[in-house]
Amino acid sequence: MFQQTVTKYQKLSRSKIDLFVQCELCFYLDRVKSIPRPAGLPFTLNTAVDTVLKTEFDIYREKGARHPLMEKYAVDAVPAKHPKLDIWRQNFKGIKYDHDDSQLTITGAIDDLWINFNNEYIIVDYKSTSKGEQITKLDKAWHAGYKRQMEIYQWLFAKNGFKVSPTGYFVYCNAITSGKTFDNKLDFEVTLIPYEGDYSWVDSKLLEIRECLSGDKYPASHPDCDVCRYYESRYKDTPSQLNINF
């Protein structure tokens, strides 16, 4: 195998960092061999909820006032105004930072940005689902990815010189399915979940990613990676198909 090289300031999205954390082999196949994981179905309803929430919070942003959800949870902040906010919220644009040590440009698109009365920016992420229980904390296995997402956003803003609050918030919208009629609408129970982020892991993880991208051999698969387990089962009798030792 030939030696891989990393182009200076190769772009890497927040989601690709999370892919590396989940499984280094899947990341390597995606970024080096151009073999991405199978794409999932688009979450169009979730996207619709995000759009409506952004529109609603923008109303209070223009007023310079707290949203009722912020008042309910006693959050001393208002939706932030910034000339680059629309860019920061756009997929494939977002906020970016050139990380010299890894020679990677890290990007991430936030859902919302608030500012508290200490002039600290607060990273806010919208989540929507439909569960038969009240969602008040991040205690499920998949929530680890949500937490990393928040921390990478906090890291990006801090690296860009902004004063960032260690506390971020998840606006969690849970669709209620206990109603007797549909009436052409979905009702949601909306909760606000604070999260104290710690992004101290990000810099060292980027160095690991650089090493992976520059390596001359396949990294190990994560033992809990369902995608790798599928490939292992699918190609176990014909390993030359991918030439990977799982």
- Asked if the structure places residue 5 within a domain, the reply is no
Distance CA 188, CA 59 (A): 20
User: How far is 175 from 131, CA to CA, in rounded Å?
Assistant: 7
Domain presence at residue 162? yes
Q: Are strands 167-175 and 121-129 parallel, antiparallel or unpaired?
A: parallel
Assigned domain for 246 exists: no
Structural domain boundaries enclosing 74: 10-241
pLDDT digits (tens, 9 = 90+) for 164-186: 999 999 999 999 988 788 888 88
User: E strands, 35-151, where?
Assistant: 77-79, 95-99, 104-108, 112-116, 121-129
Tokens 């650089």 map to which residue?
210
Q: Considering its fold, how many domains does the chain have in total?
A: 1
Question: What CATH number is given to the structural domain containing 99?
Answer: 3.90.320
Backbone torsions φ then ψ of 107, nearest 5 degrees: -130, 155
Per-residue tokens: 8 = 């200076």
Whether the pLDDT of residue 5 is over 80: the answer is: no
Q: 174 lies in a domain?
A: yes
Domain presence at residue 2? no
pLDDT digits (tens, 9 = 90+) for 182-241: 888 889 999 999 999 999 999 999 999 999 999 888 999 999 999 998 888 877 655 445
- CA nearest neighbour of 32 among 20, 15, 40, 21: 20
